[in-house]
Amino acid sequence: MGAGADVFAVWAYALANAKPHDKNNTGYVELNPALISVLIGMSKERVEAAIRFLESPDPYSRSTVDSGRRIVKEGQYLYRIVNFSEYRKIRAREERREYQRKWVEKKRSKIKGLEDNCRQSVDCRQVSTMSTQAEAEAEAEAYKNKLTKVNLLSKNDVTNDKILKNSSVKDAVQVFAKVYFAAVGKKYPIVWGRDCKCMKPLVDGGIDLAELERLAGVFLSNGNKFKGNCNIPSFVKAIPRLNFEQEPEWMARYKNAVAGLEGQ
């Protein structure tokens, strides 16, 4: 949209909190400037300005619906999300991938549990170790082939299971992806293993999601300034170069944690 971090942050909030209200998947969201200003750490006046921008016509928008507006006011604080069904489809695909990833993880744990039980039981080892192992290997291979066919996980995802199990890190990656979509207008290509590994120092440093969302908006609106790809590794390395009125408490802890990422 080329409108700055404030608009990106408010737009991301609107998409995250919009709900369908009829069979046609028309989406509505309540945008109360006073409430949003507290939630995302922005003044009420800046929130109101961002909302005015989002409900204004945009002659350069890819969509001609409602003259390119992102939202249309329906009540005092009630707004209709233009093209909500398209955004909902994107969110549904992400949720489906996450569900499938958790399902595969659960099945792997079940297989591992069967193998562990066999090791602990002498009778099991003597009678059915070979058949159980063969069945487990066959089932694991089937899951592996299924993952390859539907392209659920990248190579990095498989080798970073411990990081992927950290829900805080995954939440941080999804916040960046949400801001990326609002800023660029297309889905962020998440590489779970790589992105979780890079985002972990920020989470370990103690940054909250609202601050992360704001910084992601600043970074994505100044991509040329930082001379890097608009992805999570570049964002994490650019953090120290973003402008802060006062260095936050989590910055020192973040710098210590990110030291190992330099040079990647």
Please say which residue of 82, 110, 143 terminates a domain.
82
Residues 147 and 165 both lie in one domain: no
Residues 110 and 142 both lie in one domain: yes
- What DSSP state is assigned to residue 249? T
**Alpha carbon distance 96, 150 (integer Å):** 12
Asked if residue 27 lies in contact with residue 71, where contact means CB atoms within 8 angstroms, the answer is no
Domain that includes residue 227, residue range: 161-259
Residues 78 and 113 both lie in one domain: no
Question: Amino acid identity of 61?
Answer: S
200 belongs to a structural domain? yes
pLDDT category at 157 given cuts 50, 70, 90 is: very low
Per-residue pLDDT of 12-64, as tens digits, reads: 888 888 888 766 677 888 899 999 988 888 899 999 998 999 888 887 777 77
Residues 40 and 68 both lie in one domain: yes
Residues 147 and 58 both lie in one domain: no
Residues 39 and 103 both lie in one domain: no
Here the CATH number for the domain that contains residue 13 is 1.10.10.10
175 belongs to a structural domain? yes
The pair of structure tokens assigned to 90 is 């994107």
Q: Assign residue 25 a region: left if phi > 0, alpha if psi is -120 to 50, beta otherwise?
A: left
Residues 166 and 195 both lie in one domain: yes
Residues 17 and 107 both lie in one domain: no
59 belongs to a structural domain? yes
147 belongs to a structural domain? yes
Q: Give the pLDDT of residue 153.
A: 39
Residue whose structure tokens are 């020192």: 252
Q: Report CA-CA distances (Å) from 69 to 51, 59, 61.
A: 11, 9, 8
Please say which residue of 52, 82, 112 terminates a domain.
82
264 belongs to a structural domain? no
10 Å CB burial of residue 183 (0-12, 13-18, 19+) is buried
Residue 100 CB neighbour total at 10 angstroms: 15
Average pLDDT (192-221) is 86
Q: Give the pLDDT of residue 220.
A: 83
Please say which residue of 82, 111, 140 terminates a domain.
82
pLDDT category at 151 given cuts 50, 70, 90 is: very low
Q: Give the pLDDT of residue 29.
A: 85
Residues 132 and 171 both lie in one domain: no
Q: What is the mean pLDDT of the chain?
A: 76
Q: Give the pLDDT of residue 95.
A: 64
Domain count, the chain: 3
- Phi, psi angles (nearest 5°) of residue 26: -75, 130
The pair of structure tokens assigned to 59 is 């002659």
The pair of structure tokens assigned to 41 is 């750490």
Residues 178 and 226 both lie in one domain: yes
